Structure 1
Amino acid sequence: MPILTDPSPRAPASSPLPPAGTHARRFLIIRPSAIGDVVMALPMAAVIKKALPGACVIWLAEPYVADFLRAQPTVDEVLVWPKSRWKELLKARHVTALARDVSAFRRRLKSQPIDVALDVQGLLRSRLLAALSGARRRVGFASKEPGRFLMTEVISKGPRTRTIGTEYEYMVRYLGLWEDGFPMGVSVPQEAFERAQGLLTETLGLQGYAVFAPFTTRPQKHWIRQRWANLAQRIAEEQNLPVVLLGGGGDAEAAEQLASLSPRMVNLVGRTTLLESAAILQGARLVVGVDTGLTHMAVALKRPTVALFGATCPYLHTRSDRALVLYKPLPCSPCRRRPTCKGAFPCMAALNEDDVMNAARRVLAVSAEG
């Protein structure tokens, strides 16, 4: 169970912005999707605003993360990118309508000039969006994707220190903005807490609870289903905590199957918004999850968290003494999107219930110490 405490990434050869007092700058952060990556990139906004008082941070996002980002005090504006509509128009070969949409989106982007566009996704489409912004300076991560010429600067993601969010920290270091930390954090509005509390009271009463975040879009990141059920039983018996299942609407069928294995689980999958899920995570006594957005959110919220990694391992050090990563590297791991084990996923099978319970006890003990 390697738990690394790596230092922050070494500062790159920077290309600093003018001093903070020069004038307020408008930054566009392009990280449209993937909840976990949005959460890990979010500290960039705080660093920018601390280094450049008066700066305006605009976030380009897909609709499903827009409300979450609007609730973050370090994000001044959310620009919603209608990706699904563009894909539908392209698929239907409605080229004229697509061109009109793209042109209107570009006009909106350029209605208030962007000084710096930061593409922290590194895909062709995100580079195109950076170019559409008309920003004089367009900085992005190097990748195998085409479109490098659309950026004015392309940088590496920095040394692999295996610390959460290091590539995003590396970006603000490159810009000369980093000062004294990269603070992970998520803000949850009071109304989301109230709605979440109503749902929890309806299903659990007023008792404490744990949260499981077991669902992802890739099967190689899943833990063995029966082990979740067994773990729920052990947590209920040892810690006197029922388990709340969280996930998106697309996880509903898998959640029903999992919840049927244990009476200790309360299935709220598909019944909460992203902000309501964040509120439920904020109140959890313990969170256990795989490499999925809600797990990363729990880490950012500094909840007692155990993250189960195998085919992917985005980080090992969480910047929090209340969150531990379980990862047992095999010769084939991390395989990411190209598993070779024909569905066996031994990297996840290597994580047993005792491993998870021991880690849970550790993070709960740290939490109890305050």
Structure 2
Amino acid sequence: MRELTGAASFQWGTAPRVLIVRLSALGDTLMSTPVAHALRDAFPNAFLGWLVHRRCAPVVEGNPYLNCLHIWDGTLSGAVATVRSLRQTGYDIALDVQGLLKSALFPWLARIPQRVGFADAREGAARFYTHRLPSPPPAPFVAGRNLQLLKALGVPVDPRRHRMLFPLTETHRKTARRRLAALHLLPKRFVVLAPATTRPQKHWVEERWSELAERLWRDMELPTVLLGSRSDRPLLERIARRCRITVPIVNDLPLKEAVALIELASALVGPDSFPIHAALAVGTPAVALFGPNDPVRFREERGIRVLEHDLPCRPCRRRPTCGGAFTCMHLITTDEVLAAVAHLLADIRQTVRG
């Protein structure tokens, strides 16, 4: 295997057949979509494919920069069929932007000649690459690490142009508008609250979600919607029950339609999870509540306000040291969130006037 510092010894060709490998998760898959845009800009005649897990497929289904989508169902038999499909498609290059053993194995088993990823890939994934790239420093854009992989291979990248893309059709938007009408809400006159996340250390205080919904209505005359998945229902119901106003729950929409609902909102508030990335992708202002993770990738993103409190133990990421206190999230107050929403909306009004 060769350690690369740039494009030397790597061959793109004029019309490469490139497989982008990002199986999961939802937010990470969305943050990888600028790779397809940058590749299409650099190689208009390229054949671009994407390998994704079935759960995350809606994130890239309909992406205009892709020629092909390979959807793995998560099973062993499905993996065998997927490898067969990859071989038949005849890729020249595989870009593993996930960096896990499973994401590295697919291109290796498919015998794709050039397999590229970062040298610091987890679970020993780098052993299956033909080309390993030095890990880049953290970048202040959500797609920074992924785009830096391309840059190291000589592909021109522009974080302002190569943005996250979540493909939506008019059918998805019509479904979202119908749901909004059923809730007696108007487009761009409500705030989405998306409180759920997969790790407890990223959760905000439940009672404060209820207080925030009440304050948004009382102070800004903005109604709210609690948005989540079917498995989030218990959390959403607890928050809604604490409210002294009616706050509707929406947790039964397919992913595409849920993102279309986010697109219709004035703003979205949530922890470091997929809805924040979705809001950025569709142009909805977002307030992101950060605790265990470092929000460096949002530093230069527009349309987002990050709320965080510095503590010596941050960032702990997946290994909290606070014994379940999660102080970093508890320090974020309702007043801070309310002020952030107000500032975001004021910025938008100023931009429109300007």
Superposed pair shares fold, TM > 0.5: yes
Partner of 1:301: 282
Cα drift, residue 244 of structure 1: 1.2
Partner of 2:213: 232
CA contact (8 A) 2:29 2:59 kept: no
Partner of 2:269: 288
> Does structure 1 residue 191 correspond to structure 2 residue 171?
yes
Match of 2:237 among 253, 256, 260: 256
Query: Sequence identity of aligned pairs in percent?
Result: 33
CA contact (8 A) 1:299 1:318 kept: no
Cα drift, residue 48 of structure 1: 0.3
Q: Structure 1 regions of 5+ residues with no counterpart?
A: 1-11, 87-97
Give per-residue Cα distances to partners, 1:317-362, cap 9 Å, x unaligned. 3544321111212111111111121211000011111111121122
Equivalent position SS for 1:204: coil
Q: Which has the higher contact order (CA 8 A, sep 6+)?
A: 1
Partner of 1:177: 155
Distance 1:220 1:189 in 2: 35
> Once superposed, what is the RMSD of the aligned Cα atoms?
1.9
Distance 2:298 2:82 in 1: 39
1:203 aligned partner, one-letter code:
L
Equivalent position SS for 2:176: helix
> Does structure 1 residue 31 correspond to structure 2 residue 22?
yes
Distance 2:92 2:295 in 1: 31
Match of 1:66 among 57, 71, 76: 57
Q: Structure 2 regions of 5+ residues with no counterpart?
A: none
Cα drift, residue 264 of structure 1: 4.2
Equivalent position SS for 2:315: coil
Partner of 2:126: 148
> Does structure 1 residue 214 correspond to structure 2 residue 192?
no
Give per-residue Cα distances to partners, 1:94-129, cap 9 Å, x unaligned. xxxx4xx54332211111111111111111111111
Distance 1:171 1:314 in 2: 20
Aligned length: 342
Distance 2:175 2:167 in 1: 15
Equivalent position SS for 1:121: coil
Residues 144, 23 of structure 1: alpha-carbon distance in 2 compared, 3 angstrom cutoff: closer
Q: Answer with 210-219 or 177-186: which moved more.
A: 177-186
CA contact (8 A) 1:56 1:76 kept: yes
> Does structure 1 residue 15 correspond to structure 2 residue 7?
yes
1:52-201, aligned counterparts within 5 Å? 52-83=43-74, 85-86=75-76, 98=77, 101-141=78-118, 142-181=120-159, 182-201=162-181
Cα drift, residue 31 of structure 1: 0.9
Q: Answer with 60-69 or 312-321: which moved more.
A: 312-321
Q: Answer with 281-290 or 72-81: which moved more.
A: 72-81
Cα drift, residue 165 of structure 1: 1.9
1:42 aligned partner, one-letter code:
T
Match of 1:268 among 244, 250, 263: 250
Equivalent position SS for 2:115: strand
Distance 2:204 2:268 in 1: 15
Give per-residue Cα distances to partners, 1:59-84, cap 9 Å, x unaligned. 1111122133112212222111121x
Partner of 2:296: 315
Equivalent position SS for 1:220: helix
TM-score, length of structure 2 as denominator length:
0.91
Distance 1:205 1:183 in 2: 29
